[in-house]
Structure 1
Amino acid sequence: MTSDAQVIDEQAVAEYLRDHRDFFAHNLWLLPDLYLPHEAGGAISLVERQVAMLRAQNETLKTQLEELLAVARENDRLNTQLHQLTLLLMECRGLEGLMTLITSRLRRDYSADVAALHLMAPPRDESLAGRDEFVRDLAALREPFQHLLSTGRPFCGRLREEQRALLFGEQADAVGSGVVLPLGKEGGIGLLAIGSGDTHRFVPGGDVVFLTRMAQVIAAALGPHLRLTEA
């Protein structure tokens, strides 16, 4: 039978124990006589319940620690890749070599199937103007990527058919997911695209901070070789 007086007494006991956390330390004789319902039936002692709770908490903390360590290892790997790419870009003197290095390196580092560079600014070396990397129809490329260019934020995920065709040409149908990086302010230098046949390889919510830094490094390497429009 539960009465108002009993409820009040239970509340008072609970508050007392909360305010006197060392109560059982001074009354150890009570512990063996205290039992709590168990999910599997029967009863367990208070000490057993505390041990079970601590084990559960320990498993949760262990899982969280493993997740943090995995993130730290991935961040370390990405930073190492970016550092190595930066060194290679610094060593590369000509635009032709830079363009080849960028696409080949990103295919390797990202285990991607295709990487494509689309430059919207003409080269200072006019002999390179005929290369496929230089965009002929700027409006046609800009229109499907207006939001990306205006925000300057990298894109990760599945691309629309029109976008895939513009970025990857004949290989568009084989691309299930991709990353698109705007290079320079509002994409003034161009776009860099990485594609994979795996639809789950690049998903929304990728490491945008890392991708933004990589885009900045690549843009800084390409800029001196291009005729950029002054803001």
Structure 2
Amino acid sequence: MKKQALNTLTDKQVEAYLQANPEFFNDHLNLLESMTIPHPSGDAISLISKQLEIFRVKHQELENQLTALIEIARDNDTSFNRMHKLTLALLDAATLDEAVANLEHVFVDFFMTDFVAVRIISEHEQTPIANLFIAPNDPNLQHFASILNSSQPKCGRPTLAQARVLFGDEAAEVKSCAIIPMSFTQLEGIVAIGSREDNRFHYSMGNLFLTQMSEIIATRLISLLHQSEHD
């Protein structure tokens, strides 16, 4: 009767039993040594070898995940450091002109960019910085209408028209850039950072960091604009 019962066991019942009794092979080591499992190559390997292979694969997966997490942490540290430098540079500026100059310095030295542009959408005001202000009715703003309306940064290769408005004579050298809108009640404008490398600012880049950066820049520029109006 016992033999007949064993013959009627299904694969699922055996699997369920082994899962419920994981210590089974501890008491039957001889089975581990004698059991073989088909290998994709066609050769048979022992159960112990198969387990070691599975453990190695899982270990490698865990190592890869850990490496990825470490890289993410390093990237985050770099981003936080850059944002810190940017904030300090803006706070150190006493005038609007100094703020723009400090921005250019930080973007080039710490963000590793080749080109920087700041455009404040407002009627022209007296400033030694060329093209800092662009009138609200300037037809060149049409090239940025979708970006300004969406209030979302755009990364990738700019159109030649966009590059000319932002970077002037250096437009043809800009292979990729991040165009970051600043849309606030007291200020509207654009910050753009460009590169000679095609993939430096890729369209798939996340927007959170760039949006936070625009908020910091715009907040400081608003303060300095109000200060200049009262001087």
8 Å contact 1:152–1:185 — kept in the other structure? no
1:115 paired residue number: 116
Give the letter for the 2:191 counterpart. Answer: L
2:40 paired residue number: 39
Looking at both structures, which has the greater relative contact order when contacts are Cα pairs under 8 Å and sequence separation is at least 6? 1
Q: Deviations over 1:6-25 (max 9, x none)?
A: 89722322232233322212
Structure 2 residues not aligned, in runs of 5+? 1-6, 227-231
> 1:88-167 maps to which residues of 2 (within 5 A)?
88-122=89-123, 126-128=125-127, 131-136=130-135, 138-167=137-166
1:222 paired residue number: 221
Bigger shift: residues 172-181 or 13-22:
13-22
For 1:186 and 1:25, the matched residues in 2 are separated by 72
1:138 Cα deviation (Å)?
Answer: 4.0
Q: Runs in 1 of length 4+ with deviation above 6 angstroms?
A: none
8 Å contact 2:187–2:218 — kept in the other structure? no
Q: Deviations over 1:158-204 (max 9, x none)?
A: 22222222222211111111001112328943101111111111112
* 1:127 partner SS: coil
What is the alpha-carbon root mean square deviation over aligned residues? 2.5
8 Å contact 2:147–2:154 — kept in the other structure? yes
* 1:205 partner SS: coil
CA 1:88–1:129 in structure 2 vs 1: closer, same or farther (change >3 Å)? closer
CA 1:186–1:7 in structure 2 vs 1: closer, same or farther (change >3 Å)? farther
> 1:145-224 maps to which residues of 2 (within 5 A)?
145-185=144-184, 188-224=187-223
For 2:217 and 2:146, the matched residues in 1 are separated by 21
8 Å contact 1:103–1:117 — kept in the other structure? no
Give the letter for the 1:10 counterpart. Answer: D
Give the letter for the 2:55 counterpart. Answer: L
For 2:8 and 2:68, the matched residues in 1 are separated by 43
Structure 1 residues not aligned, in runs of 5+? 1-5
CA 1:186–1:158 in structure 2 vs 1: closer, same or farther (change >3 Å)? farther
Does residue 97 of structure 2 align to residue 85 of structure 1? no
Bigger shift: residues 39-48 or 192-201:
39-48
Does residue 72 of structure 2 align to residue 75 of structure 1? no
1:109 Cα deviation (Å)?
Answer: 2.0
* 1:198 partner SS: coil
Bigger shift: residues 191-200 or 207-216:
207-216
* 1:226 partner SS: helix
1:52 paired residue number: 53
1:15 paired residue number: 16
8 Å contact 1:150–1:186 — kept in the other structure? no
8 Å contact 2:155–2:177 — kept in the other structure? yes
2:3 paired residue number: none
- Name the TM-score, length of structure 2 as normaliser: 0.85
8 Å contact 1:178–1:196 — kept in the other structure? yes
* 1:194 partner SS: strand
For 1:12 and 1:189, the matched residues in 2 are separated by 69
8 Å contact 1:149–1:186 — kept in the other structure? no
Over the matched positions of the two proteins, sequence identity in percent amounts to 29
* 1:184 partner SS: strand
1:130 Cα deviation (Å)?
Answer: 7.3
